[in-house]
A and B are shown apart, each in its own frame.
Chain A
């Protein structure tokens, strides 16, 4: 099976290039430490963490404040040292209200004693690495925030993974945080990749980077060594989706309804790999992440921000919003959520911040002209127009039969549709209804 370097379908938003220009060549800036952090107990895919601190308690940086509950879960750590002032709830970017801990920063940045560098990394076993990833709350920083330890723990898998696929494609327009990290910190990423390979037992790793980031490709190539290959991929959305990336880099197709492990791959994002390196070497849990601030903000940039920092303060730090903002988006413009307010805390899965103007408000939907653009755009080989028509008729079973469950909600079809139809949304509706039927 060969490297195909790309996949069928997909789209080329103009903004892929233009949107990134503002932030792709400036160094990552560390944001001012926040006076107060609101740390959500749900920052990952899976079960919420259980709060294990009390109001009035003094906590250290990196101390566990929420314990993982169940197999697919991750612990949550204090991102500052200071005093717990409230155990409450907060609204996160997804719109959900979740339990949260508020800590007042004493600005001492006193690390917890649990955060200790590893004395002999070479002696670590695969199980040790999985354990460290779990303990340090490492989750996928690319989007879904799935606990990394669960991905790496392949001890019970029938088929062992042979390849770690590393996602450096950053195919979402506007976002450049992975790009900058690769340029500035390639060595750390590669270090993390090696631990990931060890953790899951894979003998090789392939890093896929879109060719619109030549400096990142170069930096990663220079840092990579035995067993780690760096491949430049044509820039096309959604190149960074697991299934597309695996196909582009290995020629393997993940079967419908299956996980990457079915084709012996484990997929991790570059930022996740860097976090894994810190966790293994320094014992450092995730207490911060890099966030791109782009669009209509005065000074677009990449900031390294503490988990739990108030978005509002960070917006002030980048000079505030400029005029004409109509949409606030957390994540990228293709997959991100709109949020009604800046009153949100940073979470581990806070993929980026984007303020867009009038242009981001889609024109009214008109009738489907059967042009077939959606079908050509769909990387999953679905017929979005057909699914959309069935969903609007209320024929959900028909939509499922047409493959709606395989939709990855990448948005390519909606992007491409000249009639501006909300095709992706129809797929979401079909999926949600199918899921609710299943649980009944």
Chain B
């Protein structure tokens, strides 16, 4: 046999790998992690670490049990763990991120066949399950205390979106993140820095975030008679920024076509608007809006298939 390798073309490959993409997402989440720790204390760091460790270990165990090659090297479990932690309040007991990650990886990812096969976003699905099972734990938020790493003392139960506290914060507070909320959702500045990184690295495209935030904002403007500051307040509240840039853009659970992404984003924005504006209940609806759209994503992708280059009417 020849000592030269025989293979089919092309013989060049882009340097981007699944792993490099997932690592980019981790890097993009770091600013929000740091902000979470700064605002909500050391517990945030422990929760992030536990969620990541549990996610990676669950995937490793699953692969072992199923006699598959371990897939933890692709860093996608790390991303899931981090995203889940971003969606948890810093006050949850330490078993919560562990259970959450196990649910996310085993029930929402691996049983569907692993990366790329899950039709719902594992971190969001796990968060929803936790929220339904332990509603009060999941809806207790620490008041932020910047730089007070030990600070979990003050307990506030209202976030900017939930009825009671709505309207109590300034836009600067919403932007910087010294407001009650989950670990990763409050500091919009950190999230936007991370999102900018993802754009620059071409990990995500503009379609979903723009359609999501855009449609939500337009609806809110119309509903409030063009009250710009109320609309901005809503856009910067709750999980919208985290959801639009980091959760709704999950490859597996959103359409791959450009048109599909826009429809998907529009759907998320409309649903969130309906939930937030019409229900006015103290729950975070962003995850549910995205999850609902996850379910119809395959359908959207089917009806928005690409048009091939030569698909033109033949004249004559």
Contact = CB atoms under 8 A, between A and B. Distances in A.
14 contacts: A13-B12, A258-B310, A334-B10, A338-B7, A340-B6, A360-B11, A369-B76, A372-B257, A381-B309, A382-B308, A385-B256, A418-B18, A419-B116, A428-B8
A7 B308 CA distance: 12
B12 A326 contact: no
A369 B251 contact: yes
Interface residues of B, number: 41
Nearest to B113: A367
B4 A369 contact: no
B2 interface: yes
B303 interface: no
A265 B274 CA distance: 54
A382 B116 contact: no
Contacts of B16: 373, 416, 418
Interface in A1-55: 7-8, 11, 13-15
Most buried by A among B10, B17, B312: B10
B291 to A, nearest CB: 17
Given A13-B14, A333-B9, 11 more contacts: A243-B309, A338-B11, A366-B71, A366-B115, A370-B252, A372-B251, A373-B16, A385-B256, A411-B9, A412-B10, A420-B17
Interface string A379-396: 111110100000000000
Contacts of A367: 71, 113-117
Contact of A420 (B13, B113, B116, B251): B13
A381 B309 CA distance: 5
A276 interface: no
Nearest to A328: B4
A368 interface: yes
A328 B6 CA distance: 8
A334 B13 CA distance: 9
Contact of B12 (A258, A360, A406, A425): A360
Interface stretch (A105-113, A249-257, A267-275): A249-257
B217 to A, nearest CB: 25
Contacts of A379: 309
B149 to A, nearest CB: 36
A436 interface: no
Interface of A: 7-8, 11, 13-15, 159, 173, 243, 247, 253-258, 262, 325-329, 331, 333-341, 354, 356, 360-363, 366-373, 375, 378-383, 385, 403, 406, 409, 411-412, 414-420, 422, 424-425, 428
Contact of A325 (B4, B20, B252, B308): B4
B111 to A, nearest CB: 14
A335 B309 CA distance: 20
Given A327-B5, A424-B10, A369 B307 contact: no
A362 B15 CA distance: 11
A276 B312 CA distance: 33
A9 to B, nearest CB: 8
Contacts of B17: 363, 418-420
B306 interface: yes
A237 to B, nearest CB: 9
Contacts of A325: 4
B314 interface: yes
A334 B312 CA distance: 28
Nearest to B118: A370
Contacts of B314: 255, 258, 262
B310 A256 contact: yes
Contact of B9 (A14, A255, A336, A420): A336
A94 B66 CA distance: 42
Contact of B256 (A13, A243, A370): A370
B311 A256 contact: yes
